[in-house]
A and B are shown apart, each in its own frame.
Chain A
Amino acid sequence: MQLEQKSSSYKILILFAHPALQNSRLNKQLIQYARGLEGVTVHDLYETYPDFYIDVKHEQNLLIEHDIIIFHHPLLWFSVPAILREWMDLVLQHMWAYGVTGHALKGKKLFNVVSAGGGEELFQHDGFHGNTMVEFLAPIRQVARVCGMDFLPPFVVHGTRNITPQAIKQHGNDYRNLLLALRDGRLDIAGAKAQQKINANLATLISAVKD
């Protein structure tokens, strides 16, 4: 947020939530690809609020300062980690985020960057979990809707248990490219919305860097 904003660029806030990052295979590395980018704020919730005492005012100010909000987290019991749920309960206040006078988040974009231990085949209607990732994220989609936000499909990484270092690197680069494209307004939003996951055909959605 302290970074200078270029004209026609958007500011991105990553709300990062991993309760045991020290044990993580993927996310520990994935988040590094987001750090240090101009116009991108990485906000590590478990590190900032280990006692879950969330500073509501501060969080709301962060939201106001950014245009694109990302929930970056592993899928835990088919949902967001506990602190992100607490964050929503506290920060998304009535008459601020929603309600008659609640327009603070209107028009901002929201999507999840989510990892799952299980492979993509489990997240099918005939798979073990019986629902797709997009379906599991229905509560978040509805949060976005109630708050007047534009909900985009998630950035999904499946099968983190057996993921190879090469695959992590590939996902990392995709993540960084997505963030840069979003920041600079080079992502085909309509095209992205047609996808089940935003990182499915990323190369075709991003237009080249204009000089």
Chain B
Amino acid sequence: MQGDSFFYTALVYLSAAVVSVPLAKRFGLGSVLGYLIAGFVIGPFGLQLVGEEGQDVMHFAEFGVVMMLFLIGLELRPALLWRLRVPILGMGGLQVMLTTGALTAVAMFFGLPLLMAVAVGMTLSLSSTAIVLQTLNEKGWMKTDAGQNAFAVLLFQDIAVIPMLAILPVLAVADITNLSTVPLAPTSGTWVVGLSGWEQALMVAGVIAAIIGGGMFLMRPFLRYVARTRLRELFTAAALLLVIAISMLMTKVGLSPALGTFVAGVVMANSEYRHELESDIAPFKGLLLGLFFISVGASIDFSLIAQQPGKMAIIVASLIAVKLAVLLIVGSIFRIKSDQNLLFAFSLAQGGEFAFVLLSFAVQNQVVSSEVANPLVGAVAVSMALTPLVLIINEKFLQPFFGVHEKEELIADTIDEENPVIIAGFGRFGSIVGRFLRANGVGVTVLEHDSDRVEVLRKLGLKVFYGDASRHELLHSAGAETAKLLIIAISNQETILPLVRMVKENYPHLTIFTRTEGRTELFELLDEGIEHVYRDTLDTSLRLGTDALISLGFRSFQAHRASKMFRHHDANAMVALRSARYDEKEFISVARQRINDLEQLMLAELRDSQLYGDRGWDVNHVMSEFGNTQQDDKG
């Protein structure tokens, strides 16, 4: 039965992941290697729990890469992307051209005819976005020079896939004059079939423009409309719909879906829904990528390796060596520092998942024979699997020669919206706190659950993000890992306590400041160990009371002192009331006693003419006090 086999596959994949990834992480190998090992273990050459359907799973799981690029796009505001234009075009372009050339030469050296060698060279010049970015992210290297440049090169490669898909069939025909008869797009069933070259180009440009325009003008009203329902799962559905729809659209015009979602992500990067979209898509991306890595592990054809171990070793070694050499050259041309250059080169020295697509496409178009393609597919998979290992070798054995420079750069490069304060709730309360902190030069990231309010605040020029702060993932994407304070300014009392507990569990480093309404909630928060709890109305009512006293003729300073005394006494009373609160009788009696004490205290101060008075300076009086302590001269 179809359903049974689905659950069986899910059971196998998920168990493999849950068992092997924590183990790999414990041994410092990183999750990617963990997934790959899991795939190998359950694969045809391990426990044989999965067989041929592994390929289908891989195709499905490639969607994780699409989602990953969407998320990367969300992180990259257009301004930042513009700043990366030199590395993307320069380094990316140079890397793809030089690697293609070098690998073509190597392939010809091994006896492939020119055109086939060019096809192989192009295909293998691409690196694995999934493995590289996942590994760099996990190690926290994305913001280093090496990470930024590696990302730039990968981005160029994703774009380069499009012309490659167009060129491959041409190589089969091997006659440039026939170019116009060759379809630019890889598969039939797209909208561009039968269109001439410039019509296709127009269509492609139109679709990209539609994605950008839609992202700028249609997505926000759409997401706001969905957010208004206040159904979290509906927003998740909308986010998935967005990604899937863009992928479909891109596929229809023969473009890389990853590129399309990346563009959409960049367009949405400045919107208030950024963090919410991130936290909705991230779990799917993580799962699918994991699945993808597992299927890569499972797909490594060990029988081929076993048959011709020497040949496979040579292919893998020359693939990695050539790419490494070219990357080092490119890095030094663009003046990356030597330790960073090494990291940059090692991280990108593998074949990529696009190679699987391109090779099968090349075989279909009879550019490359399957006898050549099959070992190459195996070599690419092996080189991908080796990447985490190669990076570990670089980190453990090569980097120590250079000292640890990356750490310094990490500290210097924390400008990208890593604010020390997160404010949950931006109503009347939160907005005052936020404005006050901002006015003092403290960066705040604001999360607000009311989509209408978010829109108004955005119009006012405030950087506010839509989302429910009580969600773990949303806090994460708002930067809870690096923030110092969380200010809870939401008015809904029922959500404060669960939020506090969640934060204490997941982000124990965050100092929590929270507002609260009443006494009961105050006590509960104090019980949770929260020190900074602020009752909503205390200050306002005391200020009003102070001004009332002044308008009745009290001296301002006296009224201010009185309000301060009241506050301090009230705070002390809270401690006493807190311990008495479970016994109603005791609570009432403590409360009455405290109220009485306070009134007595304040009246005493009112009567006390000695406060700041000058009687103490009458030395005769002082002498008499010293002489006779019994004397009580309070007249």
Contact = CB atoms under 8 A, between A and B. Distances in A.
Contacts of A117: 613-618
B614 A19 contact: no
A50 B543 CA distance: 12
B409 to A, nearest CB: 41
A46 B555 contact: yes
Interface residues on B, range: 20 to 34
B555 A21 contact: yes
Contacts of B612: 18-20, 23, 74, 76, 81
Contacts of B556: 46-48, 50
A79 B615 CA distance: 16
Contacts of A51: 560
Nearest to B563: A50
Interface in B164-181: none
B618 A50 contact: no
B619 A50 contact: no
A161 B610 CA distance: 11
Contacts of B558: 20, 22
B621 interface: yes
B613 A23 contact: yes
B611 interface: yes
Interface of A is mostly: loop
A102 interface: no
Interface in B272-323: none
Contacts of B557: 19-20, 46-47, 50
B619 A128 contact: yes
Contacts of A119: 618-620
A161 B614 contact: yes
B559 interface: yes
Interface residues of A, number: 29
A20 B555 contact: yes
A30 interface: no
Interface string A4-28: 0000000000000011111111000
Contact of A50 (B559, B608, B616, B621): B559
A204 B616 CA distance: 34
Given A46-B555, A46-B557, A50-B557, A20 B613 contact: yes
A114 to B, nearest CB: 11
A74 B614 contact: yes
Most-contacted residue by chain B among A19, A50, A81, A162 (CB, 10 A): A50
B364 interface: no
Interface string B533-559: 000000000000000000000111111
Contacts of B610: 23
Contacts of B506: none
B609 interface: yes
Contacts of B621: 161
Given A20-B612, A23-B609, A116 B617 contact: yes
Interface string B548-581: 0000001111111000000000000000000000
A115 B560 CA distance: 25
Nearest to B615: A161
A148 interface: no
Interface in B592-617: 608-617
A97 B618 CA distance: 36
B6 to A, nearest CB: 69
Contacts of A159: 618
A119 B614 CA distance: 11
Nearest to B608: A23
A196 interface: no
A48 B556 CA distance: 8
B548 to A, nearest CB: 14
A119 B623 CA distance: 14
Most-contacted residue by chain A among B554, B612, B616 (CB, 10 A): B612
Nearest to A76: B612
Contact of A115 (B554, B555, B614, B616): B614
A22 B558 CA distance: 8
Contacts of A75: 614, 617
A116 B616 CA distance: 10
A183 to B, nearest CB: 28
Contacts of B560: 50-51
Nearest to A159: B618
A20 B618 contact: no
A104 to B, nearest CB: 28
A91 interface: no
A22 B555 CA distance: 7
Contacts of A24: 613
A23 B608 CA distance: 8
Contacts of B559: 50
A118 interface: yes
Interface in A89-135: 115-119, 122, 128-129
15 contacts: A20-B558, A20-B612, A23-B608, A23-B609, A23-B611, A47-B555, A47-B556, A48-B556, A75-B617, A76-B612, A117-B613, A117-B614, A119-B619, A159-B618, A161-B614
Interface of B: 554-560, 608-621
Given A48-B556, A117-B616, 18 more contacts: A18-B612, A19-B611, A19-B612, A20-B558, A22-B554, A25-B614, A47-B557, A75-B617, A81-B612, A116-B617, A117-B613, A117-B615, A118-B618, A122-B619, A159-B618, A160-B614, A161-B615, A161-B621
